[in-house]
Chain A
């Protein structure tokens, strides 16, 4: 099987099990949709990082400040040189989201545990309820690296220039049949459809049932053959709030070696509410 373009940012559950005790250099971070999963049981030594209460500002719709990011790393015993391994529920959506935010603040050594929490549990690997505590880290965050983050005006210009946009939501959300992800009602958008010109590649097509990523050949078939994307393309990925698209951002950037991918974290909850934003709706109600 062909190796991923950047295999160094992906580790297996085995690797994590074998290396998790090296807490001087490695920190395992669990980031979940469900706020109780970590308490219910986690990989021994892992610390919890909540994508909303830790990574997002409580007032403004944005990420935390550099200073706050430095503090949340230091509290978890993460220093600039620490190797941070992310894993979580929902096929690593939130792990990839946290990975992306760490990259935004310039953290160098970030890894994803292939298979997510799902595979760890399927393998019946040990879990603990004991919360981990480490000596404070020393952290200096960089200025946010906006080369991986797209803002709305940029998305509009990107769309007008007919550059590739990948909508990673479900087909129903993409066509405009529904305003929200199946089972996530009325998640704050007033209009349904997609950004004109965007192609639809649901995030889930990049994953196997056990939570691992598909092989490089399968991923190339999906993005390079079916969608005719090239690794040199400037691509913007979006979903509803930027979490599923951070998984796609990770896949394109690291597993397939795309060099200019941005995640649009405003995503549909911004675009679908913007006055005057162009929208393409391909769903028509049958009479």
Chain B
């Protein structure tokens, strides 16, 4: 079972209130952005423009493995939690595994019903961004 499947299973076993608590746990364990990336963030680079809250993703492919760094503004714990799930699921995996992220991930996690229609788009954009970036990064890695 992949790490993502394990996380999905963990969410699916919970009721709505506990799913929020688990998402909050994820939000709180998102690693701090390493200092080396701060200048790029402050210059507005690597921002996910679809997200209303300042959200930044660095997706790299190092020695054939995915490496993700992220920064999400503290006033948006929901986005932070979701990004943290993606980091947990894909940091260190092979790039082709990222392509398997289901497009309905938020539904599978049982979060879609808690978010409601209006909030889904920004979060979907985060996972799309991850897929696109890893596509680019792995192409660069092969070329390089």
Contacts and interface: CB of A to CB of B under 8 A. Distances in A.
Interface of A: 33-37, 39-40, 50, 52-53, 56, 89, 181, 183-187, 241
Contacts of B23: 36
A185 B49 contact: yes
Interface in B6-21: 20-21
Contact of A52 (B53, B75, B119): B119
Is the contact region of chain B dominated by helix, strand, or loop, or is it mixed?
Answer: helix
A215 B121 CA distance: 36
Contacts of B79: 34
A257 B27 CA distance: 42
Contacts of A33: 52, 119
B20 A35 contact: yes
B101 interface: no
Contacts of A183: 49-52, 122
A39 B49 CA distance: 26
Given A39-B24, A52-B116, 11 more contacts: A34-B75, A34-B78, A36-B23, A37-B77, A39-B21, A40-B24, A53-B113, A53-B114, A184-B52, A187-B118, A187-B121
A213 to B, nearest CB: 20
A34 B79 CA distance: 8
Contacts, number: 58
B31 interface: no
A37 to B, nearest CB: 6
Interface of B: 20-21, 23-24, 27, 49-53, 75-79, 81, 113-119, 121-122, 125
Contact of B121 (A40, A52, A89, A185): A185
Nearest to B55: A183
Nearest to B122: A184
B50 A40 contact: no
A148 to B, nearest CB: 21
B113 A34 contact: no
10 contacts: A34-B77, A36-B81, A39-B20, A39-B21, A40-B77, A52-B118, A184-B50, A184-B121, A186-B121, A187-B121
10 smallest beta-carbon distances between A and B, as pairs: A52-B116, A36-B77, A185-B50, A183-B52, A36-B78, A34-B78, A40-B77, A39-B24, A35-B78, A36-B24
B121 to A, nearest CB: 7
